[in-house]
Amino acid sequence: MIAASAAGPQPRWQVLWRTAVTDAGALLRELGLAHLAASLPEQDAGFPLRVPPGFVARMRRGDPRDPLLLQVLPQLVEGDVPPGALLDPVGDAAARAAPGVIHKYHGRALLIASGACAVHCRYCFRRHFPYERETAAAGRWQVAVDWLRAHPDIDEVILSGGDPLSLSTGRLAELTDALRGLPQVRRLRIHSRLPVVLPERVDESLCRWLADLPWPVALVLHANHANELDDTVGAACTRLKAANAHLLNQSVLLRGVNATVEALTALSTRLFSVGVLPYYLHQLDPVQGAMHFAVDDAHARALVEALRQRLPGYLVPRLVREEPGAPSKTALGPP
Ligand SMILES: *Cc1c(COP(=O)(O)O)cnc(C)c1O
Ligand code: SF4
């Protein structure tokens, strides 16, 4: 196997990757919020702060309620374990079909392509996921590909993680080269937060890889707030579209971050202005450490109903929840 770094100098995004802010005190100082450092939790619950400087640059200075800061800053309330908080809230363990392969829904299989993320999101439903054991990368593509070959009814392969675009383009190409040998594959889907948090990842080599794929590609971005989508992200979306990717977005409904009609309206309209359609708005998965972000169902439904009244239908995301064992995401209808 050829490591991508052997092919030449390291791509710029990999250099930037290593400049991520990992010290909460330093982050607060940079934002003019040094006085808040005393209220940081002592333990990071095994899920340390991590955020690229380009994302920090989009945070408002001096605002402890900034919606981007709240997505990444460890909080004392994460130590609370309210009833109903789970380690594996979406039943991933029960849906594991092979190492790194999760199969829940008809025709689609999800590959845990990587355990790494450029940003650590405090609401992450896989924050307790056993990535060391359950990753399809690291020379283990073959197991996933063999499983797919034995399941010809799967016509859509979904690359997830972690963040699949944290893999080098060479690694991604190894996987898609192997998938080319499977006649059943009709669509490739990629779920990634990288084009938003580290838009430099969308470089020439990634775009060439995308454009050369033999299947239509859906790229699902994960942005939760309009402020995440600055011009650097807009330019990355333009490059992705030029490489023929269909751009969708999924968000998580997060108390204190985006759970207002104004924030959700701004997110949808900003997404469209950079060429992205809203897809899902997820109710938070009840994962230990993130329950303080939860929004109750009645409020969630009312928010989406209000969106329906002020936006064109194509800018209203589908409000869903993931229920372990269900045959699809579960839609939450109007109030
Ligand atoms: C969410 C999810 C999918 C994709 O579901 P869609 O409704 O097609 O977006 C596929 N597999 C798994 C395991 C999932 O969690
Ligand atoms: S990028 Fe996705 S997988 Fe990674 S920490 Fe954030 S929510 Fe979790």
In a domain, 93, yes or no: yes
The rounded Cα 49 to chain-centroid distance in angstroms is 16
User: Cis (ω within 30 of 0) for the bond into 162?
Assistant: yes
- Is the beta carbon of 229 within 6 A of some atom in ligand 2? no
Distance CA 187, CA 43 (A): 42
* pLDDT of amino acid 275: 98
The residue from 39, 59, 79 where one domain ends is 79
CB atoms within 10 A of CB 235: 13
138 SS3 class? coil
113 and 238 in a common domain: yes
Residues near 148 by beta carbon (within 8 Å), at least 6 away in sequence: 101, 109, 154, 157, 179, 182, 184, 185
274 and 318 in a common domain: yes
320 and 294 in a common domain: yes
Task: Say how many domains are in the chain.
Answer: 2
| Ligand in nearest proximity to the CA of 252 | 2
Work out the percent of the chain whose per-residue pLDDT is above 90.
80
In a domain, 1, yes or no: no
The residue from 35, 54, 79 where one domain ends is 79
Q: Which residues does a 6 A CB cutoff place in the pocket of ligand 1?
A: 95, 102, 104-105, 108, 110, 158, 328-329
* pLDDT of amino acid 229: 98
Expressed as residue numbers, the domain containing 112 is 89-331
95 and 30 in a common domain: no
Could you identify the atom of ligand 2 that is nearest to the CA of residue 193? 1
- The H or E element containing residue 98 is strand 96-98
**Is the pTM of the predicted complex or chain greater than 0.85?**
yes
In a domain, 137, yes or no: yes
68 and 102 in a common domain: no
pLDDT surpasses 60 at 8: yes
Could you identify the atom of ligand 1 that is nearest to the CA of residue 95? 13
What tokens appear for 240 in the block?
A: 């992705």
User: pLDDT tens digits, residue range 73-123?
Assistant: 999 989 888 888 888 888 888 889 998 899 999 999 999 999 899 999 999
CATH code for position 235: 3.20.20.70
CB atoms within 10 A of CB 41: 14
The residue from 31, 61, 79 where one domain ends is 79
* CB-CB contact of 164 with 113 (8 Å): yes
Higher pLDDT, 43 or 30: 30
Q: How far away, in angstroms, is 13 Cα from ligand 1 center?
A: 28
* pLDDT of amino acid 86: 86
What tokens appear for 302 in the block?
A: 């009312």
Identify which of 22, 70, 117 to mutate to test ligand 2's pocket (most ligand atoms within 8 A of the CB).
117
Task: Give burial (CB, 10 Å; 0-12/13-18/19+) of 29.
Answer: middle
In a domain, 73, yes or no: yes
Closest CA to 129 of 141, 139, 114: 114
In a domain, 7, yes or no: no
Work out the percent of the chain whose per-residue pLDDT is above 70.
95
For ligand 2, atom 7, the nearest C-alpha belongs to: 124
Q: How far away, in angstroms, is 278 Cα from ligand 2 center?
A: 18
Calculate mean pLDDT across residues 135-148: 81
Cα dihedral value 267, 269, 271, 276, nearest 10: 140
Task: Give burial (CB, 10 Å; 0-12/13-18/19+) of 2.
Answer: exposed
161 and 287 in a common domain: yes
Distance CA 52, CA 190 (A): 21
Band of pLDDT at residue 4, cut at 50, 70 and 90: very low
In a domain, 237, yes or no: yes
User: pLDDT tens digits, residue range 303-320?
Assistant: 999 999 999 999 999 999
102 and 51 in a common domain: no
Q: How far away, in angstroms, is 102 Cα from ligand 2 center?
A: 17
* pLDDT of amino acid 276: 98
Identify which of 55, 110, 163, 293 to mutate to test ligand 2's pocket (most ligand atoms within 8 A of the CB).
163
97 and 72 in a common domain: no
Helices (H), strands (E): how many in the chain?
A: 11, 10
71 and 116 in a common domain: no
The rounded Cα 122 to chain-centroid distance in angstroms is 12
Band of pLDDT at residue 136, cut at 50, 70 and 90: low
Distance CA 75, CA 62 (A): 17
In a domain, 3, yes or no: no
Calculate mean pLDDT across residues 151-167: 96
In a domain, 63, yes or no: yes
273 and 170 in a common domain: yes
203 and 68 in a common domain: no
171 and 45 in a common domain: no
* CB-CB contact of 268 with 313 (8 Å): no
